[in-house]
Amino acid sequence: MAKSPMRVVVTGAAGQISYSLLALIARGDVFGRDQPVDLVMLDLPFAKDAMEGVVMELTDCAFPSLKSVTATCDQTEAFTDIDVAVLVGAFPRKPGMERNDMLAKNAEIFKAQGALLNTVAKKTVKVLVVGNPANTNCLIAQKYAPTIPKQNFSALTRLDQNRATAQIAAKAGVTSDKVTGITIWGNHSATQYPDAWHGKVNKDGAEVAASAACNDNAWLKSDFITTVQKRGAAVLAARKLSSAMSAAKAIGDHLHDWICGSEGRWVSMAVTSDGNKYGVPEGLIYSFPVTCQDGTWTVVNGLEISEFSREKLTVTADELSGEAKYAAEFLEKASA
């Protein structure tokens, strides 16, 4: 039997990430070629013409699973009866901007969008926040959408996971598909902790620990971590624009695994910290290793955490607690 269409909104639809992402979704690479999609694009009024150009291009691609495409600058229209909301639209960091500048610029956007999703989206909507600072923007949207289950909110750290996986693959001399179990803990920021200690590499047909395949623990504890932590900044410095193609690919991976299932593989998603066994404070949007089945993520609990790792899990949790406090104070002042 034919599947009923899935209504998917992408915000920031005229921006550079969306330019790659919309085609992935429309082609069926994310939700499956047999899943019809009603695609809704939202951006600010100044970007209306640019969005219309993207609509023309999507139409001209003649994708079989793209049932309809709508471009709008009206948030209520965009979020009504939505199944999946991909919140990309935000003010991106420019050279010289600090994270708190970005947080202040974006907090109001995610407050308003959370409140609107709460009112007009399906209660089953799945929300992925990409706009930075992604974890805290997600926390804000979630807070203002109290009638949508907290489970349904996540932020993107899959790009970091993909970056880390690619680094391990290069070091081990294999392709990325041979590397599994690499985790990103915490914030999508320079405090994130890319963790390869539970990773595996399939080398010459045999599965070995990633640390054995890399054979360089000093690298795993230093340059590997900093390369991944600073990769976004390195791309920004080189392109004078933040990463877009790789971000779109990671968004597709995240949504695919969340909604269609991860088939037992661990993937990293920033999700509500709720009853985890790693001592992460409750309520933060923190990146954990998870598995996904039937549209639900479950944190992989019980992994052994060394002293080295414990310290790093705490640093990134502390940063998120600070961001949450800053955001709450900012929004309180703004509404006073």
Ligand X SMILES: O=C(O)CC[C@H](O)C(=O)O
Own/partner contacts of 199-207, CB < 8 Å, gap of 24 or more, are 199/168, 201/168, 201/169, 201/172, 201/174, 202/174, 202/178, 203/172, 203/173, 203/174, 203/178
**Residue 86: in which H helix or E strand, if any?**
strand 84-87
56 binds, among ligand NAD, ligand X, none (CB under 5 to 8 A by kind): none
- SS3 (DSSP) at 59: helix
How far apart CA 212 and CA 134 sit, in angstroms, is 33
Check binding of 243 to ligand X (CB under 6 A).
Answer: yes
Strand partners of residue 217: none
Sort strands 126-129 and 84-87 into parallel, antiparallel or unpaired.
Answer: parallel
Evaluate whether 290 touches 268 at the Cβ level (below 8 Å): yes
Evaluate whether 257 touches 294 at the Cβ level (below 8 Å): no
Nearest residue to ligand NAD, scored by beta-carbon proximity: 15
Q: Which one of 151, 242, 276, 321 is in contact with ligand X (CB under 6 A)? A: 242
Check binding of 20 to ligand X (CB under 6 A).
Answer: no
235 binds, among ligand NAD, ligand X, none (CB under 5 to 8 A by kind): ligand X
Check binding of 186 to ligand NAD (CB under 6 A).
Answer: no
- SS3 (DSSP) at 185: strand
Among the residue ranges 32-40, 56-64, 234-242, 276-284, the one whose residues contact ligand X (CB under 6 A):
234-242
Residue that has been written with the tokens 């974890």 in this structure: 135
- Report phi then psi at 184, rounded to 5: -110, 125
Binders of ligand X among 80-99, rule CB under 6 A? 93
How far apart CA 96 and CA 195 sit, in angstroms, is 29
Comparison of 212 and 245: residue with beta carbon closer to ligand X: 245
How far apart are CB 250 and ligand NAD at their closest, in Å? 6
* Structure token pair of residue 237: 């410095």
256 is catalytic: no
Q: Is 132 annotated as a binding residue?
A: yes
Q: Which one of 55, 120, 174, 236 is in contact with ligand X (CB under 6 A)? A: 236
254 binds, among ligand NAD, ligand X, none (CB under 5 to 8 A by kind): none
Q: Which one of 7, 10, 15, 63 is in contact with ligand NAD (CB under 6 A)? A: 15
Q: Catalytic site residues?
A: 188
Residues of this chain that bind ligand NAD (CB under 6 A): 11-12, 14-17, 42-44, 47, 88-90, 92-93, 109, 130-132, 134, 156, 159, 188, 242-244, 247
Which amino acids are annotated as binding site for NAD(+), given as ranges?
Answer: 43, 106, 130-132
Residues of this chain that bind ligand X (CB under 6 A): 93, 132, 159, 232-233, 235-236, 242-243
